[in-house]
Structure 1
């Protein structure tokens, strides 16, 4: 740069040395950055050449039986990940290995002209492992006949890929977790020990289909007795039923043909209508009943083949759906339909006048009983011959005598529980009621019902753990904000918002929690009173991350409008004032973390970008990311960063990991991926292909994961499966690294209050 001395006035001559020194300093900084970029490019090219040279050598060593390759130095790949409109390098590691943020640089060596990169940490999986401790939730919104009581006193039901055995008096859980995708149906054997559960089809991480099947297992030992139907069913298994003769299992799949098969006696035959449920006649195991869309079929099993007869509605209006049925003590079939009626079916001799000589017997309606306003969702036969029915629209439970005279009724008054989906008899008086809004109620006609199991009913994304208590918060598309207790395994309270929540964070004092909503609005709730103490709006797009600084003096709000809004926090988290705005990302904000001193922020965005911000200096973007190489972070939830490079699988596209969380002791990283799995890595894990422990249980993409305040548990939430899994951290355990989830966990809490 040249300066014309003649243009410099005498009055400014005194300032000249200062201006020159400033310009020289800027020029030096630019030269340093250029040097770093050149060295990075040279190192990348060197490694590519070395990679091409090593491939033949490695192949030779593998052939020769050697498992070790030559040692090689590792150098930085680049100073900045590409934006969403840029393409990844044509050569080099695929996926997020080029997406990661700033590596930890050592000081540049002027003699080498390059920057060395040192990997902290080893290549070992963490000594800690996870074991399934508790399952929050129940799938009642779209499944039928999915709640039973075992001889052990345990209620058996399912959610996601887990079948839960919940002892209703001892408040303990055990888990059958051998399914590879969402469980969709369940039945218990007449001996009340054996259980059959069927799952839906799925896909693996490569998009290849996983076939559905049925497991038959022992509820006392949780040992799988038989796996049937692999390669036979399509889409999933819709309904299963045991025969009373112990010999047969009847299965209906979810294909277009709704194939009915009896195992192990028949290959199967087809029905062409939507089928809801199937049962064997308790008095005759060669007789099978199915019902569904406008039909009831009576099947006969003989010599390995099935024949069917359709129930005749005659003078009665044919309902749109027949939802459920039971067998009376006299052998009649009672069905509940979408018109609110209970129909009694029986055998009638063939009508010779209509069908001619040789007409065979038919199954016709003997009686129609008006039961509910809206659909009859479930029927339950009691031991003495009395009948229970559950309604959809009216949410009523009615007890009927053996001759179908109404005796007693009650209503599930709290609308947040939804309609009656399923009823299980406990002792003739006490009942378990599964509802359409994913709750299980316990009670009697006299005393009413309270919830013993509750859950979300729509996709969940927001998860936050309390800084000092065994408490966590969840929020989702159902507009519910729920606060749970990890020690007592219950819902403390929940409230319904006007919009759905997507993110949350507790203030470090633990008294309030902030929740980000889908409209750019965010609320601050008092943890004790549930009152909204603050209400603000930033932009008009959804918020994706809320994060307090370590001392609680700042709150950072990450939005889909590409900005991070910074607020001053006063009055113990009850008052907020805008401090500044971080402007520099070219896509929506996904994750962010504060430094331990509360002065800086690290953030990720939807275009796989990682940026650093000087908050104390006025929310300025730090363009020289080298300055952040040794900065300590109070939390680590950013999925892109040097310290967590190893969590990404080779070939990942950048969306395969939805969330991660470093433990408070900075020894572990829990990862939520897009393939229904939770992973546990050692921290830091910067090396590619870092070893880890993987755990299954969710039935959809895992949207979030968090450690509890003392690192005793990991919490993970599924998206569409509406399931929250609580994993116990086993330090130095010797269990299966793949996560054997056959574990019993106890709780001493009382019934959870109604929200």
Structure 2
């Protein structure tokens, strides 16, 4: 609907829009699909009001759901206003996003009764109601949002991302429902920029491919193909923004650093005109010509003039005016005679837009300037106290008023309030008439690497890379404290002590600070500088008397709190110990079971678990003991296993997607389990407080870009875990609230903190749907229970029973459903899983001691179901890949004349006998004889006299003949092991 126009006032053409009910109708048809329950899209409101079951506070949206109506058709601007707590139907529901992408614009949506804006944080679009301090989150992208736009009537929102399988999603801003999705519309890179046409019917996208494409879409149709598209010449440089001509949707404008491109489609064909002037006439703001001089245009922003056939672009502090002439030659450069440059100011122009026949400019000094159609300055907002402006967005609602014009008599105009966003992620609402700025958002604009939750209050603390510490109340959604560290920047890690008395900070400079959480001040004057290496882990003991840190120098530093009578309480450094020769992955306090004294463990990429004897340690003397807990896998993190068994366990996670339970006293590996497999290994784990709803324990975990949950106890069941993408460019840390309701994640480079609400019932239901007992594990076997592999597994299992009783025995075979543990290694190898001797020992110990703590007896045999679980949990999660073998040959061997990594035959024999779990000469001979099908009477023809005389057995001669002197990866896999080529 068009707005009433005041007498003598001027309106931007976009605000006199046509009735867009057809867009709502088409969007609704897409949203409804073939839903058989869809009823008529109109209803008798009076009849609904008479419904006895309707609650008094129900809105039209609520009533439409009850009547089967479209939520889009009946949505109003108040639909997203929170009436009650929404039901959470996912395991992890995104509840709040703190922070935003400072490089993307902020758009105004409402300003009449409520202040509502739209912006992006990481891969989420955020409709923020400042009046009620609530957010409605638009989730649907797997990658960072690269650009977004809103229609002129503020009804439709479009968001786009870059990367593989990129998408463009069109949303209804009233209901928050996605009405259309364009999948892979720019296959080779995603979307750089998008824009709606003036009537909102069309959407134009600018691709991020090596050879960029411009596509125009009729997004209200079912098709996934554009109406028009064209490829851009790479000689024009990378284009980074795009816009429609508000008065003619067949005109499109893009701009890059060196060129601007004007497009016009005629008869469904694109024609372009290049803006790249080498000579231009410079004019001052009053329009007086100056002498010609040479210059090269570097375009940063561009728009269409609202009343003239002209393009307006910015270059530094200059405004470039380019006349679009009807006689211009298609696919050629626009004549330089039609290009002029006006030097508006010395400051760089960083934002450019048009509204109500005004040209509006934002600059690097935080000023907003209004110009008329003749580029004469009308007014300037220079009291906003902002830094460089990124975007300016005007609200649809406007009021009649006056703007002072120093060159002519003031005339009534439509004055609209506007929203300004800056490069420091500040968002300010400006009342245009009263010239009053109001800060709506002041978010993070630096990566956040540190986050911690208070142990008994609804407080979350974050620290970023420029030394800003903030405390948020996550129940009230308000900032309650902040401190800026000017000398010690880069807050790398945070931790509360279990009692909430102290807040420990680790800095990139190597400093360690202990604060009072209430005042954020160090009331004990405690600040330590024990190293110059960055602190990346900090943790307190359970009794709050010890503090430990791990730094980039692969060292652990321990502090102790002293509170002796007659002296002030203070923290003292006991010492710093380089306990690892690879980076430290985790640091964990616990208690000794026999004495309840604090116990400290560190875990490193060197595969060592180090135990620190704090009771017998003194200043500058840390007593430690260590042991290797992995052979080839790299441990990533650890946590104390909750009291689900009579034994006390330490839970570790490795980069091979395996979880292991170690006896907390003997450090014996008691169980190996398949962990969650979500594209990247788990980097951090946390046992949540016991759930009161389900009376269960849950494990929260974080991978490279996902956050997830798993039901405890761990058993390898893939249906007991669930994960969602949290930060596409990488998550840096996570923590949970003291009651386990919320999980908080921080992004490495997206400058956001996300709050996730956990619904245990949904996770339990999903696990139940996956089946029970053996069913979930059979789904991990090729073909399942009815597949060929399972049949082979049964056959081998029963053959092991026969072999154990003796294949040559004449006695009657006794039927049994179990095999002894001694047969497990052979059965594993028969199934093409070749465990090491250490892995075999771990398997046997796992079964042998499985009931010892409860029953006091050893288990000596295993049935088929238990074996399947053992096999699924111990075998490699994704098998062996070709790149793994290639890397092994590169490390162990040398390159031949063709550059192919090869191993010398003699070197291979020595490696098998000396390195790793060394084999004896007889074992090596037996293995190769079996693999190559050799025997003592093999033909020696073809062997040299030296090979015949180099050993004492015929097998050596045969191996020398059967194994080439230089062994490549393909020879080793195909000829010796006789295995199929490994996957890429």
Q: State the shift of 1:508 in Å.
A: 4.0
> How many angstroms does 1:516 deviate by?
0.9
Structure 1 position 425 matched with structure 2 position 379: no
Counterpart Cα distance in 2 of 1:139 and 1:360: 35
Of 153-162 and 400-409, more deviation after overlay is shown by 400-409
Aligned positions of 1:106-117 closer than 5 A = none
Look up the match of 1:67. Answer: none
Match of 2:109? Answer: 149
Task: Label 1:630 to 1:180 Cα distance change in 2 as closer, same or farther (>3 A).
Answer: closer
Q: Alpha carbon RMSD of aligned pairs, Å?
A: 3.8
1:459 counterpart (422, 427, 447): 447
- Give, in whole Å, the separation in 2 of the partners of 1:153 and 1:491: 19
* Aligned twin of 1:615: 614
Once the two structures are overlaid, the 10-residue window that deviates more, 243-252 or 550-559, is 243-252
Q: Tell me which residue corresponds to 2:962.
A: none
Cα pair distance change 1:555/1:137, threshold 3 Å: same
How far is 1:368 from its partner?
Answer: 4.1
Q: What are the equivalent positions in structure 2 for 1:656-675 lying under 5 Å apart?
A: 656-665=681-690, 667-674=697-704
Structure 2 contact 616–623 (Cα < 8 Å) conserved: yes
* Equivalent residue runs for 1:37-436 within 5 Å: 129-141=91-103, 143=104, 145=105, 147-149=107-109, 154-201=116-163, 210-228=164-182, 230=184, 232-263=186-217, 264-272=226-234, 273-311=237-275, 313=277, 314-316=279-281, 318=295, 320-331=297-308, 333=310, 335-348=312-325, 350=327, 368-383=341-356, 385-392=357-364, 394-411=365-382, 418-426=387-395, 427=398, 428-436=415-423
> TM-score, normalised to structure 2's length?
0.54
Q: How does 1:504-583 map to 2 (within 5 A)?
A: 504-532=494-522, 533-570=525-562, 575-581=570-576
**How far off is 1:429 after superposition?**
5.0
Q: 1:425 to 1:178 in 2, by over 3 A?
A: same
Rounded Cα–Cα distance in structure 2 between residues aligned with 1:332 and 1:191: 24
Residue 630 to residue 344, structure 1, CA distance change in 2 (3 Å): closer
Structure 1 stretch displaced more, 131-140 or 591-600: 591-600
Residue ranges of structure 2 left out of the alignment (5+ in a row): 1-88, 218-225, 282-293, 399-414, 630-638, 663-671, 692-696, 768-984
Gaps of 5+ in 1: 1-126, 202-209, 739-755
1:93 alignment partner in structure 2: none
In structure 2, the residue corresponding to 1:138 is in which secondary structure? coil
Cα shift at 1:716: 0.7
- In structure 2, what is the Cα distance between the partners aligned to 1:482 and 1:648? 34
Distance in structure 1 (CA, Å) of the matches to 2:719 and 2:764: 20
1:439, CA displacement in angstroms? 3.1
Distance in 2, Cα, partners of 1:684 & 1:672: 18
Deviation, structure 1 residue 187: 1.1
Alpha-carbon contact 2:314-2:349 (below 8 Å) kept: yes
Going from structure 1 to structure 2, the CA distance change for 1:131 and 1:404 (only over 3 Å counts) comes to same
SS across alignment from 1:468: coil
Question: CA–CA distance in 1 between the matches of 2:532 and 2:575?
Answer: 18
Q: Are the structure 2 counterparts of residues 290 and 231 from structure 1 closer, same or farther at C-alpha, using a change threshold of 3 Å?
A: closer
Q: Which moved more, 1:708-717 or 1:659-668?
A: 659-668
Query: Is the contact made by 1:544 and 1:589 (CA closer than 8 Å) also made in structure 2?
Result: no
Given that 1:567 and 1:580 are in contact with CA atoms closer than 8 Å, whether structure 2 keeps it comes out as yes
Task: Report Cα offsets for 1:519-562 as digits up to 9, x if no partner.
Answer: 32222334444445422112222212111122321111112223
Q: Is the 8 A contact 1:513 1:527 kept in 2?
A: yes
The answer to whether the 8 Å contact 2:581/2:606 transfers is yes
Q: Are 2:640 and 1:648 equivalent residues in the alignment?
A: no
Q: CA deviation at 1:342?
A: 2.5
| CA deviation after TM superposition for structure 1 residue 687, in Å | 3.7
Q: 1:592 aligns with which of 587, 590, 596?
A: 587
Residues 1:238 and 1:649: Cα distance change in structure 2 (over 3 Å): same
Distance 1:609 1:257 in 2: 49
| Change in 2 beyond 3 A, CA 1:590/1:735 | closer
| Alpha-carbon distance in 2 for matches of 1:690, 1:617 | 45
Q: Distance in 1 between matches of 2:264 and 2:175?
A: 34
Measured at CA, do residues 663 and 556 of structure 1 come closer, stay the same or move farther in structure 2, by a change above 3 Å?
Answer: same
Native 8 Å contact 1:462 1:475 kept in 2: yes
Distance 1:608 1:365, change over 3 A: farther
Cα distance, 1:286–1:629 mapped onto 2, change above 3 Å = closer
Distance in 2 between residues matched to 1:705 and 1:336, nearest whole Å: 44
Q: Which has the larger radius of gyration?
A: 2
Alpha-carbon deviation of 1:184? 0.2
Q: What do the CA deviations read for 1:563-609 (whole angstroms, capped 9, x no partner)?
A: 22111125799831123455533323222222255511232223343
Residues 1:481 and 1:608: Cα distance change in structure 2 (over 3 Å): farther
- Rounded to whole Å, the distance in 1 between the matches of 2:641 and 2:128 is 48
**Residues 549 and 227 of structure 1: CA distance in aligned 2, closer, same or farther (over 3 Å):** same
Equivalent pair of 1:346/1:363 in contact (CA under 8 Å):
no
Contact preservation (8 Å) 1:601, 1:613: yes
Superposition TM-score, scaled by structure 1 size = 0.70
Distance across 1 between alignment mates of 2:241 and 2:765: 37
More deviation, 585-594/327-336: 327-336
The 3 A distance-change label for structure 1 pair 663 and 642 is same
Cα distance in 2 between the residues matched to 1:455 and 1:604: 35
Deviations 1:606-644 (A, max 9, x none): 334333333223253356999x99997999997567459
Name the counterpart of 2:635: none
Question: In the alignment, what sits opposite 1:439?
Answer: 426
Question: Take 1:598 and 1:395, find their aligned partners in 2: how far apart are those partners?
Answer: 58
Query: What is the number of equivalent residue pairs in this alignment?
Result: 589
